[in-house]
Amino acid sequence: MHVIFGATGKVGQSTAAALRHEGHTVRAVVRNPAQGETLTRIGCEVVTGDLNDEASIHRALDGAQAVQMLCPLPHRDPDPAGAMHRMIETAARALRAHPHLRVVALSDYGAELDAGTGITLLFHHLEAALTEAAPRLTLLRSAEHMQNWARVVPVALATGRLPSLHHPLDRPFPTVSARDVGSVAAQLLSDGLNEEGVRVVSVEGPRRYDANDVARALGEAGGRDIVAHALPRDQWTATLLRAGLDANHAKLIVDLYDAQNSGRIDAEAGTERRFGTTELRDVIAALVSTINA
């Protein structure tokens, strides 16, 4: 039995689908039963659970051999860092009671760094907590997800300008499709490795892109000229606040991109490397098609 937390997200759905395609039994954990229809259709057992509810985690893990653990940033919480810390600690306590499990924890490029990385610093804490809690642990660190550009696709299509926090615009950065992350996670869950220890795997796409590449892909998919625009650093916080984020969440993003643009965030040297197959243009085309629909 493979248990997938965060099963309704893009990575979780991809992991579940890949495992089911290989014939594995999958238990998908969802917070809202209404979200489980797609997972039920592909043959998953769907159960309700919440990473803030330790009892529900234990129920989800009952009878499992392997688990994919995702602790997402709680976007709607006024203190997202504090809320994620509590979620991580709850998950770690639960995992200590199931030491036989093979655990694949979804993390981020740069999670080995212990200061100044914004959102990624929360994954540093996750890695530390789960390393202590899970004897058989794989940390799957992914590059920035290509699907994150969905937040600014509508404004780019409307104005012909793609706002970017990646500076400079012609500097390539690692990125990966969420679907490829899920596929790699499924491989790691099903490969049968059972020895104790921590395995670190870094995953990114088939090649690196810059913000100008994103703009070109958007232009091709949207049928209009689009140019990348480096959003001035002194406008980042105000722009994020206008987009509906609170100050705490905005600071996490600002600190993250400061670290990214200074070259601090990348695949850690010496880690095992995996590469997806999905090209940026295919993800962008899918985003544009969804918006147009």
The pTM of this model reads: 0.96
28-51 pLDDT tens trace: 999 988 888 999 999 999 999 999
Phi and psi at residue 208, in whole multiples of 5°?
-95, 150
- Residue 7: pLDDT band by 50, 70, 90 thresholds? very high
**HEC states along 59-104?**
HHHCCCCEEEECCCCCCCCCCHHHHHHHHHHHHHHHHHCCCCCEEE
**Considering only the top CATH level, what class is 2-146+175-205+264-277?**
alpha beta
169-223 pLDDT tens trace: 999 999 999 999 999 999 999 886 667 899 999 999 999 999 999 999 999 999 9
**Which sequence spans correspond to the domains of the chain?**
2-146+175-205+264-277
